[in-house]
Structure 1
Amino acid sequence: MDHVFACCVLPAVFAILLLLRLLPLKLAKSGGGGDGLRLPPGPWRLPVVGSLHHMMGKRLAHRAMADLARRLDAPLMYLKLGEVPVVVASSPAAAREIMRTHDLAFAGRSLSPTARRMRPGGDGLVFSPYGPLWRQLRKIVVVELLSARRVRSFHGVREEEVGRLVHALAASSSSPHGETVNISERITELVSDSSVRAMIGDRFDRRDEFLEEEAKQSNLLSVFSLDNLFPSSRLASAIGGTVRRAEANRRKLYELMDCAIRQHEERRAATVDGAGGGMEDEKGQDILDELLTIQKDGGLESPITLEQIRAIMLDLFTAGTETSANTLQWAMSELVKNPRVMKKAQAELRDTLREKKPAVTEDDLCDLKYLKLVVMETLRLHPVAPLLLPRECLEPCKVMGYDIARGTTVLVNVWSINRDPRYWGDDAEEFVPERFESGAVNFKGMDFEFIPFGSGRRMCPGVAFAEASMELPLAALLYHFDWELPHGTTASELDMAEQMGLTSRRKNDLHLHPILRVNPTA
C-alpha cells in the first residue's frame, strides 16, 4: 500500500508474469466463481496474481481501488490479491449493508500473517476475533476506559500539554530570523504526551522510541508483501520477510509497554495517595490503574491477563496518538492552503474568547461551531483510516445481491465515499467546512456517506477521546497564532502528498512560521 509495495513486491510479480508467458494463459473471468457463486463485479484477473496487476504503479491502495470501482461502476467490487479474496465497498449503500444490515456476519477481523505474528492469539481489542472475549473487552473500553465522563476527566492534562506547546511556539515566533517550525513533529509530540499521560499518569520516558516502532507497525500491517498475498506458500513466506520483521516489531513494542507499566508502578510508589500532580482523573486513577483494578477485582466471565492488558494499552497508545496527530496535521495543511477558512475559524475563536485570554480551555469548545466543522471536513477529505480496518466474513451472506464467501476480507473505502460527487456535490474535492452547517450528517456511525470512524460492532470505540485530542490543540493553534508557509512557498504549491500506513499521513512533515497574535502570558 505504499513505497514498500513498489520496491519489494513488483519485482516478484513481474517474475511471476514472465513465467506465465511460457504457459497457456486462461484469463479469469471478472464475475462469477467456479463454485457457482455470484461474485461482485471486478477487473479481469490473471492466474496466480489475480488482480494485483491492476494495482501496479499505484502508490496508495485506497486511490487505486477507488479508480477501479469508478471505472467499473461497481459500488461493491471483487478483487483477488494473490490468493486472498477481497471485497471492497465504495458506496454508502454497500457500506450500510456490511456494517449495519449484515454487521454480525462481518464482525470478524481479517488478519494477515503479519498481523497474526504481531498479536498471537488476537490479544487486545483491535485484532481480537469476534466472540465473548472481544465483547467483554469492548465493554470495558467503552464503559470504563473511554467513556465520555472519563475522557472529560482528563481535560486538565490536555490543557496543560497544549499550554506547553503554545508557550514553546510563542518563544519560537519571536525569533528575529522568522524561524519556521516542524508543526508535524510538534503536534505528534503533543498528542502523544497528552494521550500517554491519560493512560499511565505521566509522560512516557521512551516516547520517541515508541513513535518510531508505532510507525513501523503501521507500515508493516499495510504492506502488500508476498507472505501476506500468498499466505499458504512457504516460498512466499521465505522471500517476503514481512512476517519476520513483524516479530521483531512486536517484541520491541511489548518491551516498551512493559517499560510504560514499570514507569507507572514506580511513579505510583513514589507518590502518596495518588497525588501525581493532576495527571489522573478525579478519582486519582489513570487508564492503566482502571485496567489493573478490573483485573484485581475479578468477576469477569474471562479473567484479564497481563498479556491482554499490554495489548489493550498498546491499542490505546497507538490509536490515541497516530490518528489524532495525523488529522491535526491535515487540518493545519488544509487551513494554510485555504486562507479564507483559516481566517473565518480564527475570527470565531478570537471574537468568542476575547474576554478569556490568555488561553483556550475545553469549556470554550462548545461555543466554537465553525471549528467543529473544520474538523469534520478534515476527516472527510483525510479519513483516519481510508479503508478502515479489514473485516472478515464469518458466514456466507449476500450483499447487494452478490455472494460473499466465508473468509473473504472486506474493506470499506471511506476515502472514495467521502469524495464522491454523487453524495458531496461538484465541489467534493474542495475543503469547504460549511457543507456540514445543517447538522444533517455526523460521524457517529449512522450516516454512511460519512463514517471516518466506521460503524457497527467494529466501530472505533475512542471517538470521544479523538474529538477531545483534536479540537483543543487546533483551537489553541488558531487562537494564538497566524500561520505562514516558508518564504517563497505559495498556498497552491503546498505539498499535500500522502503516505499510506494503516492510517493516512502526510508523506513529508509540515513546516510553518507562527506569528504570535494572542500572547499566552498576557
Structure 2
Amino acid sequence: MVWNHELHRPSLATQHQMEDTTSQSQSHYYFLYLWALVSLAFALAAYRRFLTAARANGGLQLPPGPWQLPVIGSLHHLVGQLPHRAMRDLARRHGPVMLLQLGELPTVVVSTPDAAREVMRTQDLTFASRPLTASMRVLTNDGRDVAFAPYGEYWRQLRKIAVTELLTARRVLSFRAIREEEVAAMLRQVGSAARPVEMRAHLTALVSNATFRAVMGDRCKQRDVFLRGVDEVIQLSTGFNPADMWPSWSWLAGRLSNDMRRAKECHATLYDMFGGIIEEHLERMEGGGDGNGEAMDLLDVLLKIHKDGGVDMVAIKAVIFDVFIAGSESSATTLEWALAELIKNPEAMKKVTAEVRQAFDAGGRVVEDRLGELTYLHLVIREALRLHPPLPLLLPRLCREPCKVLGFDVPRGTQVIVNAWALGRDEQHWPDATEEFRPERFEAGTRAAMVDFRGADFELLPFGAGRRMCPGIAFGLASVELPLASLLLHFDWEAPDVSDPTEFDMTEAFGATARRNANLLLRPSLRVPLPAPPAQGV
C-alpha cells in the first residue's frame, strides 16, 4: 500500500489553529511564570522588612494580633466580613489594642473606649497626623484638604478657617431657608409617587442639593455626575486598594488594579467641576455681586479669604471636596439608617411619629427653630449614630513618635484605626441589649443620657474626637434632623412585601461609610397635608 502524505497532512487552517493554540499556551505559561516571579519578589521583600522590623523592635512589647502570612500580612483574617466587623471579632480574641499587618502597613486597631481615649485625648498630639494612601493622595491633591493634611501649620490654618469661618453655628443657621426649601421639594416628590419609593435616591438628592446651595449658592447642574463621583470616592477611600496597601510596589499594584486610574478620573471630574463653579463666582465677585456677612455661601467665604492672601486655589478646591463628601454622604447615610431602624422597630416609629405630629400638626410643617422640642426624635438620631456611625472605622491616624498605648509599644510610622462601630457596641459600656435599636437607652436619668457624642466621651464617637474630629457636626446634624422630622410628620411608612418588621434587611454594604446594602424601598401614606409650593417667581 502506498502512503499518501498529502492526504494526511494537516490543512492550512488546522496548522494555524495549532499555532494559535501553542501561542496561547505559551502566553499562559509566560503569565504564570511572571506572576510567580512577582509573588516571590513580594515575599522576599516582605521577609526583608520583617527581619528589619524584628531587629528594630528588639525589646519592644508590641500589641498582640493574629498570625500573618508573607506579603498579605493579616488581610486573610478580614476576608468574608466587613472590615469593622472582622476587626471587632479579632479584637475580642486579641485585645482592645491589636496589631494587624495590612499588606505593608503596620496597623494598630483600638476597639474600646479606654483605648480610644488614650489615642484621641491622652496622646492626641502624638497621633495628630494622617497616613496618606496613594488613592487619597490623588483625590486630595497630595493632602491639601482638612481631613488628610499632615499635622502642621498648613493643617492648623485650614482647620481654623473651617471652625471659625465656614462651619460656625451662625453660618449653619444662615442656611436654614435652603434646608427648608429642599425638604419641601423632596416631600412633594415623595408624595406624588404612585408606587413604593426608593428612599436612598430621594435622601441623597435632598442632602446634595442643600449642600451644593450652601457651598456654591445654587443647585448643581451636573448632580448625577457629582453623585457618581461621590460613590467612587467612597469606594476608593477604604484604604484596601492594592496601591494603598503595598506603597513600595505602587507602580506594579497600579497596573494590576484599576483603582489608581479610577482615582485620577474621579479627581479630574470633580475638580474640573469645582473649577468651573469657582470661575463663575470670581466673575460675579468682579462685578460686585459677592455676598455679605452671613448671606455668603461657603465658596464666597473661601474666595474672600483667598483674596486676602489666606489660601490658594488648590486648597479651596480641596476644602470644597471635603465639605461635599462629608456633608452629603454622611448625612444621607444616617437618614437612611434612621428610617430603616424605625421601619424595623414599629414601637419606636409609633412613638417618634406621635411626638412630631403633636408638636407640628397644627402648623402643617416642621420648622427648624422648634426642633429642640422633639426629645424622642433626638434619641432616635443618637441611637442610629451609635449603631451606624457615619464612618465605622474612623479616618486613620499616624503615630508621629514612638509611644505606648495601654502598655503596648506603638512604633513611629504605625497607622492607628479607631473602630467607632465597635465602641458603640462595647458590652462593658453598653450592657443593655447592645445590638438592639432602643432610643430609650438615652432617656433622662439613664447612664447613657450622660454620654456626649460630640467627642467628649469615648463610648460614642460618630464624629471622632480630639484635634482631628469632624468640624462639621452642626452642619451634619442640621441635614438630618429637619428631613427626618418632616418625613415622619407628613407620611406613615411601611415596607412593601415585609410581613414581619423584625426580618427587615439591615445588611451593610462594603465602603468607607457602610451604607445599607439593599435599596430602602418604602411605601408612604400621606397623613398631614404637604406645604403649598412657593408661588412661581418667588
In 1, Cα distance between equivalents of 2:358 and 2:320: 40
TM-aligned CA deviation for residue 16 of structure 1: 10
Contact 2:171–2:294 at 8 Å: present in 1 too? no
TM-score by length of 1: 0.88
Give the one of 64, 69, 82 matched to 1:46.
69
2:67 is aligned with what amino acid? Answer: W
Aligned residue in 1 for 2:231:
215
Contact 2:498–2:504 at 8 Å: present in 1 too? no
TM-aligned CA deviation for residue 493 of structure 1: 2.9
Contact 2:145–2:319 at 8 Å: present in 1 too? yes
Aligned residue in 2 for 1:3:
none
SS in 1 for 2:509: strand
Aligned residue in 2 for 1:124:
145
Aligned residue in 2 for 1:331:
338
- Residue 208 to residue 265, structure 1, CA distance change in 2 (3 Å): farther
Contact 1:358–1:518 at 8 Å: present in 2 too? yes
Contact 2:196–2:521 at 8 Å: present in 1 too? yes
Larger-Rg structure:
2
Give the one of 310, 317, 322 matched to 1:315.
322
In 1, Cα distance between equivalents of 2:432 and 2:218: 47
Aligned residue in 2 for 1:62:
84
In 2, Cα distance between equivalents of 1:314 and 1:155: 22
Matches within 5 A, 1:340-419: 340-355=347-362, 357-419=363-425
Q: 1:227-255: CA deviations, max 9, x gaps?
A: 22211124334323322321222111111
Give the one of 440, 448, 470 matched to 2:480.
470
Give the one of 507, 522, 525 matched to 1:497.
507
In 2, Cα distance between equivalents of 1:15 and 1:81: 21
Aligned residue in 1 for 2:307:
296
TM-aligned CA deviation for residue 499 of structure 1: 1.3
1:236 is aligned with what amino acid? Answer: A
TM-aligned CA deviation for residue 208 of structure 1: 1.1
Aligned residue in 2 for 1:8:
none
TM-aligned CA deviation for residue 358 of structure 1: 1.5
Deviates more, 1:203-212 or 1:219-228: 219-228
Task: Say what the alpha-carbon RMSD is for the aligned residues.
Answer: 2.5
Contact 1:498–1:507 at 8 Å: present in 2 too? yes
Gapped runs of 5+ residues in structure 1?
1-10, 275-279
TM-aligned CA deviation for residue 456 of structure 1: 0.2
Contact 2:361–2:489 at 8 Å: present in 1 too? no
Q: 1:106-129: CA deviations, max 9, x gaps?
A: 011111111112223311111111
Give the one of 99, 113, 116 matched to 1:95.
116
SS in 1 for 2:248: coil
Q: 1:397-430: CA deviations, max 9, x gaps?
A: 1111111111111100010111122211140000
In 2, Cα distance between equivalents of 1:153 and 1:481: 28
Give the one of 235, 246, 263 matched to 2:263.
246
Deviates more, 1:363-372 or 1:502-511: 502-511
SS in 2 for 1:508: coil
Q: Runs ≥4 in structure 1, deviation > 6 angstroms?
A: 14-20, 266-270
Give the one of 444, 456, 463 matched to 1:453.
463
In 1, Cα distance between equivalents of 2:431 and 2:327: 32
- Residue 97 to residue 462, structure 1, CA distance change in 2 (3 Å): same
In 1, Cα distance between equivalents of 2:92 and 2:37: 28
- Residue 247 to residue 360, structure 1, CA distance change in 2 (3 Å): same
SS in 1 for 2:450: coil
Contact 1:396–1:406 at 8 Å: present in 2 too? yes
In 2, Cα distance between equivalents of 1:169 and 1:495: 22
In 2, Cα distance between equivalents of 1:387 and 1:161: 31
SS in 1 for 2:429: helix
2:75 is aligned with what amino acid? Answer: L
In 2, Cα distance between equivalents of 1:336 and 1:376: 17
Gapped runs of 5+ residues in structure 2?
1-31, 533-538
Aligned residue in 1 for 2:16:
none
TM-aligned CA deviation for residue 267 of structure 1: 6.7
In 1, Cα distance between equivalents of 2:365 and 2:473: 25
Aligned residue in 1 for 2:190:
169
Contact 1:33–1:39 at 8 Å: present in 2 too? no
